């Protein structure tokens, strides 16, 4: 990373993007943080604004962007189902036009480019755990499709730009990640349960809570992303990035309740359309290519996240 002069982080004011900007500037790297502030917030990057290494630019990646850069991390796109379904056409454009504009930028500047892809490319999977060889089971016309199919199309664009123009690409399929700087109104399960418990509200489980996800703490995910970016050019991915410890949503609710205390009770609500039944990454490739595996146990990550939310909600 020391030889790298200037890095572009799109979606840099969001949850993951802001952690990435902090890590990069902390390592002495110059960062352009680009965001349209749809779900991102200035506060997430406020501590970085005084740094000469950090530049914040308001821009929507559905429009082209040009700047001399050596590395591009494409994190721009709302990740919460609640948020990406507010304006599904914009979500699709962000994923598809946005990817193409950034690939054009990479082509123009000869930059290496990382795509924040997602476990959603596997849809509601029949193969468990999911390996990168699995092609997925995705509804192309449902409410989640703007995100799932948008991300799948972005992956296609990345590999076509590599085949056609020789671009230096890295595609990481990120599984559910949580931690400080998630929005309280984000709608994603960990942030929602924690905020509900801290406010003494009912914990809202969709369905019977037997569906599973595998949750990765944000510092582990950042280690994986930074390592992946610096792997040799031949290692393009897709590579699963996540924590293979699988939990039911009911157990997450019980864990959060036990750690937060308070009077909250569990309330069961209908399951949203196309909600995947189970999800767990096979991280064999990440282990071998990145010499990485997640270190933070769920309970420790939840405690850190609860501590952070206590500070922001009060």
Q: What is the largest CA-CA distance in the chain?
A: 58
Instruction: Indicate whether 17 belongs to the interface with ligand NAD (CB under 6 A).
Output: yes
CB-hemisphere CA count at 13 Å for 170? 27
Instruction: Indicate whether 189 belongs to the interface with ligand UDP (CB under 6 A).
Output: yes
Q: How far is the CB of 252 from ligand NAD (least distance, A)?
A: 14
Q: Are 42 and 181 in contact (CB under 8 A)?
A: no
Choose the contact partner of 13 out of ligand UDP, ligand NAD, none; CB within 5 to 8 A by kind: ligand NAD
**Phi then psi for 206, rounded to 5 degrees?**
-90, 125
CB-hemisphere CA count at 13 Å for 158? 26
Q: Which is nearer to ligand UDP, 111 or 182 (CB)?
A: 182
Among 13, 100, 229, 250, binds ligand NAD (CB under 6 A): 13
Among 7, 29, 45, 61, binds ligand NAD (CB under 6 A): 61
Torsion of CA 292, 295, 298, 301, to 10 degrees: -110
72 strand-pairing partners: 8, 113
**Phi then psi for 268, rounded to 5 degrees?**
-95, 130
Distance CA 232, CA 251 (A): 39
Distance CA 259, CA 257 (A): 6
- What x-and-dash track marks residues 205-224 binding ligand NAD by CB under 6 A? --------------------
Choose the contact partner of 125 out of ligand UDP, ligand NAD, none; CB within 5 to 8 A by kind: none
Among 7, 8, 9, 60, binds ligand NAD (CB under 6 A): 60
Instruction: Indicate whether 38 belongs to the interface with ligand NAD (CB under 6 A).
Output: yes
Q: Which is nearer to ligand UDP, 10 or 176 (CB)?
A: 176
Contact set with ligand NAD (CB under 6 A): 10-11, 13-17, 35-40, 60-62, 75-79, 94, 98, 116, 118, 174, 176-177
């Amino acid at each position: 990373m020391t030889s790298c002069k200037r890095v572009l982080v799109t979606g840099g004011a969001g949850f993951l993007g802001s952690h990435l900007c902090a890590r990069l500037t902390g390592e002495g790297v110059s960062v352009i943080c680009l965001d349209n502030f749809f779900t991102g917030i200035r506060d997430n990057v406020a501590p970085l604004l005084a740094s000469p290494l950090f530049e914040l630019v308001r821009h929507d990646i559905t429009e082209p962007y040009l700047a001399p850069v050596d590395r591009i991390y494409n994190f721009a796109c709302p990740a919460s189902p609640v948020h990406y379904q507010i304006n599904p056409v914009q979500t699709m454009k962000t994923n598809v036009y946005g990817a193409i504009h950034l690939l054009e930028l990479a082509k123009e500047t000869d930059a290496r480019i990382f795509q924040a892809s997602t476990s959603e490319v596997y849809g509601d999977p029949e193969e468990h755990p999911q390996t990168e060889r699995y092609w997925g089971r995705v509804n192309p016309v449902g409410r989640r499709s703007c995100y799932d199919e948008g991300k799948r199309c972005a992956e296609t664009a990345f590999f076509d730009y590599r085949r056609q123009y020789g671009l230096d690409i890295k595609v990481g399929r990120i599984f559910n990640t949580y931690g400080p700087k998630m929005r309280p109104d984000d709608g994603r399960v960990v942030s929602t349960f924690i905020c509900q418990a801290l406010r003494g509200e009912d914990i809202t489980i969709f369905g019977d809570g037997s569906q599973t996800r595998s949750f990765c703490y944000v510092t582990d995910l950042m280690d994986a992303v930074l390592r992946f970016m610096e792997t040799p050019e031949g290692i393009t991915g897709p590579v699963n990035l996540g924590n293979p410890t699988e939990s039911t949503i009911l157990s997450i609710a019980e864990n959060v309740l036990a750690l937060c205390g308070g009077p909250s009770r569990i309330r069961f609500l209908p399951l949203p359309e196309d909600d995947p039944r189970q999800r767990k990454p096979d991280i064999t490739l990440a282990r071998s290519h990145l010499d990485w595996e997640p270190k933070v146990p769920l309970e420790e990550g939840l405690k850190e996240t609860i501590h952070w939310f206590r500070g922001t909600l009060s």
